[in-house]
Amino acid sequence: AGLFRWENAPLDRFQVVIKKPGYVTRYRVLGHEPRQELKIYAPLELSGRVVDAATGVPVDQFRLVWSEGHDVFSRRFARIERGGRYSVHVGEINASGWFGGYAHHFQLRVEAEGYQSKLSRLFDSNKGDVGKIDYDFHLESVPRLKIVVTDSENHAVVGAEVTLWTPGSRIF
Residues, the chain: 172
Q: List, for residues 57-90, the tens digit of each pLDDT value.
A: 999 999 998 876 566 666 667 889 999 999 988 7
Tell me which of 40-44, 107-111, 140-144 is least confident: 40-44
Q: Could you tell me the sign of the dihedral formed by the alpha carbons of 130, 131, 134, 137, in that order?
A: positive
> CB–CB of 15/100 below 8 Å?
no
pTM of the model: 0.68
Q: List, for residues 35-49, the tens digit of each pLDDT value.
A: 777 877 788 889 999
